[in-house]
């Protein structure tokens, strides 16, 4: 998870500028004195513009909760919620690219830890290190080292992780499973058997909403993780294992079989729509990051009663990690006030406020487990024990150019389902990783 692709800097700047011109689709805290954060005394007034794509369901509610907490502790610092809706983040990223290249950065912005941050904005020299916040708040002691590595370059830390999401999760409608005598499949062979049973009863086995492509990429990366394991999966994105590896070919074949069981209108749906199909019992399973847990909570569905979950088939003992982080862009007018807000984001109190609502788990290892529901409690335990693997679909495993090309390859494969052509496209998309 520590590979770096700094030579992509100039290409990345061109890419994000182009993205800013094209637009996207349509979708969707120093507060904790317990860890040494500032109490705000003597801080100057100012406004913090908080830029994200958290605009719906549990994520929006969680964001508002953390803003309210900060306002109580820092009444002299205004917080502007500058969230941008659409495209599951693609619209926000396009707006952000335009602002960053135009020299008008927001005070702080949402960015996935890993290459989206490091091979992107850090390599482009757009971020200030925040080592002082890590030292003042003792974050080295409460964030796992693998996580710190995802926001660090050359010994400097550039962002504070706010949450942890798991990508290799399979949510299912408990009533549909119980009524049909089914159990969560533990291998992709079992998955196909379960899917066949459901389809024979006119139940859509797998809900998919890939209007923005990445949900399909998530399914494929989960299959890759099952076939390669965390260590070799990571080597794919280091360029140490090629995409002509027989296990990758096998994964593509399995992916093709799985796609036979998705809803026909998948390309017209967003991820929330697919999650809702499962909630309504119109589909049985949804492979989605655990922000779906927050979505179900926002719909007042009960964990273990209305919906169940399991790791994606074959991925037991691994954790496809996605982390949302916030840092300090270069050129902001009031960096001291921004740091006050970043310190709050990293505090125990704020993370235990935000994550139970969003459906994620805290990045900190000292969470108050009593604040979390059964899904999150299970996930917190797994995160402390499982082998971590970075998500490609969410920008952690490879540079943005590679993610874009893989998404394009997946999009073509979903419609044409030609394995040989898909493998060649993946090889072309990732050829730079071994350079």
Task: Yes or no: say if 247 and 228 are a contact pair by the CB < 8 Å rule.
Answer: yes
Closest to 131 measured CA to CA, from 400, 398, 363, 328: 328
Residue 25 CB burial class (10 angstroms; 0-12, 13-18, ≥19)? middle
List where CATH 3.40.190.10 sits in the chain. Answer: 6-164+324-383, 169-320+395-434
Question: What pLDDT band is residue 89 in, cutting at 50, 70 and 90?
Answer: confident
Task: Yes or no: say if 319 and 387 are a contact pair by the CB < 8 Å rule.
Answer: yes
DSSP-derived pairing of the beta strands 127-128 and 77-81: unpaired
Determine the distance from the C-alpha atom of residue 21 to the mean position of all C-alpha atoms in its chain, rounded to a whole number: 24
Q: What is the CATH number of domain 6-164+324-383?
A: 3.40.190.10
What pLDDT score was predicted for residue 435? Answer: 65
Dihedral-angle region of residue 370 (phi above 0 means left; psi in -120 to 50 means alpha; beta otherwise) = alpha
* The domain defined by 169-320+395-434 carries CATH number 1.10.510.10: no
Inform me whether the pLDDT recorded for 14 exceeds 70: no
DSSP-derived pairing of the beta strands 318-322 and 204-207: unpaired
Which residues, including other chains, have CB under 8 Å from residue 162's CB and lie 6 or more apart?
323, 324, 325, 326, 345, 346, 351, 354, 363
Give residue-wise pLDDT tens across range 291-306: 899 889 889 999 999 9
CA distance 101 to 266: 35
What pLDDT score was predicted for residue 177? Answer: 98
Inform me whether the pLDDT recorded for 251 exceeds 90: yes
What pLDDT score was predicted for residue 25? Answer: 36
Question: What pLDDT band is residue 10 in, cutting at 50, 70 and 90?
Answer: very low
Give residue-wise pLDDT tens across range 407-420: 999 999 999 999 99
Average pLDDT of the residues in 176-205: 98
Q: Is 65 helix (H, G, I), strand (E, B) or coil?
A: helix
311: which strand partners?
169
DSSP-derived pairing of the beta strands 283-287 and 169-173: antiparallel
Which position has the token pair 């006050």?
Answer: 340
Mean model confidence pLDDT for the chain: 89
Joined together, the tokens standing for residue 149 give 């590595």
Percentage, residues of the chain above pLDDT 90: 82
Average pLDDT of the residues in 145-161: 96
Give residue-wise pLDDT tens across range 378-399: 999 999 899 999 999 999 999 9
Question: What pLDDT band is residue 432 in, cutting at 50, 70 and 90?
Answer: confident
- Percent of the chain as helix, strand, coil, to the nearest 5: 50, 15, 35
CA distance 272 to 287: 12
Joined together, the tokens standing for residue 205 give 């086995």
Inform me whether the pLDDT recorded for 211 exceeds 70: yes
Residue 219 phi, psi dihedral angles, 5° rounding? -65, -45
Average pLDDT of the residues in 249-262: 98
């Amino acid at each position: 998870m520590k590979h770096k692709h700094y030579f992509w800097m100039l290409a990345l700047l061109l890419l994000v500028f182009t993205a800013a011109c094209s637009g996207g689709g349509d979708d969707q805290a120093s507060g904790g004195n317990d860890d040494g954060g500032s109490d705000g005394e003597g801080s100057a007034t100012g406004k913090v513009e908080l830029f994200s794509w958290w605009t719906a369901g549990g994520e929006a509610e969680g964001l508002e909760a953390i803003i309210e907490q900060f306002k109580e502790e820092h009444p002299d610092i205004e917080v502007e919620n500058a969230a941008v809706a659409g495209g599951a983040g693609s619209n926000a990223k396009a707006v952000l690219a335009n602002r960053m290249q135009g020299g008008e950065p927001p005070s702080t912005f949402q960015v996935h830890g890993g290459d989206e941050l490091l091979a992107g904005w850090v390599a482009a020299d757009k971020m200030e290190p925040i080592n002082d916040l890590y030292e003042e708040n003792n974050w080295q002691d409460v964030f796992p080292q693998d996580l710190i590595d995802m926001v660090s370059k050359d010994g400097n830390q550039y962002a504070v992780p706010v949450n942890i999401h798991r990508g290799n999760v399979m949510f299912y409608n408990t009533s549909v499973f119980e009524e049909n005598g089914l159990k969560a499949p533990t291998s992709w062979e079992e998955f196909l058997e379960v899917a066949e049973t459901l389809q024979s009863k006119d139940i859509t086995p797998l809900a998919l909403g890939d209007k923005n492509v990445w949900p399909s990429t998530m399914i494929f990366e989960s299959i890759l993780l099952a076939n390669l394991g965390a260590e070799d999966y990571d080597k794919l994105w280091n360029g140490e294992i090629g995409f002509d590896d027989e296990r990758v070919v096998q994964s593509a074949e399995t992916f093709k079989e799985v796609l036979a069981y998705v809803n026909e209108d998948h390309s017209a749906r967003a991820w929330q729509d697919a999650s809702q199909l499962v909630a309504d019992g119109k589909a049985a399973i949804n492979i989605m990051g655990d922000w779906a847990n927050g979505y179900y909570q926002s719909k007042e569905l009960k964990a273990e009663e209305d919906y169940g979950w399991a790791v994606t088939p074959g991925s037991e003992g691994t954790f496809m990690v996605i982390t949302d982080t916030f840092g300090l862009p270069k050129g902001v007018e009031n960096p001291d006030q921004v740091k006050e807000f970043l310190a709050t984001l990293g505090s125990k109190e704020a993370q235990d406020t935000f994550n139970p609502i969003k459906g994620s788990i805290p990045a900190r290892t000292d969470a108050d487990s009593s604040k979390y529901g059964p899904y999150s409690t299970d996930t917190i335990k797994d995160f402390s024990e499982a082998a971590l693997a970075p998500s490609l679909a969410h920008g952690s495993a490879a540079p943005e150019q590679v993610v874009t090309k893989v998404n394009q390859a997946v999009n073509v494969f979903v419609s044409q389902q030609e394995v040989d052509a898909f493998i060649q496209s993946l090889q072309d998309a990732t050829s730079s990783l071994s350079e």
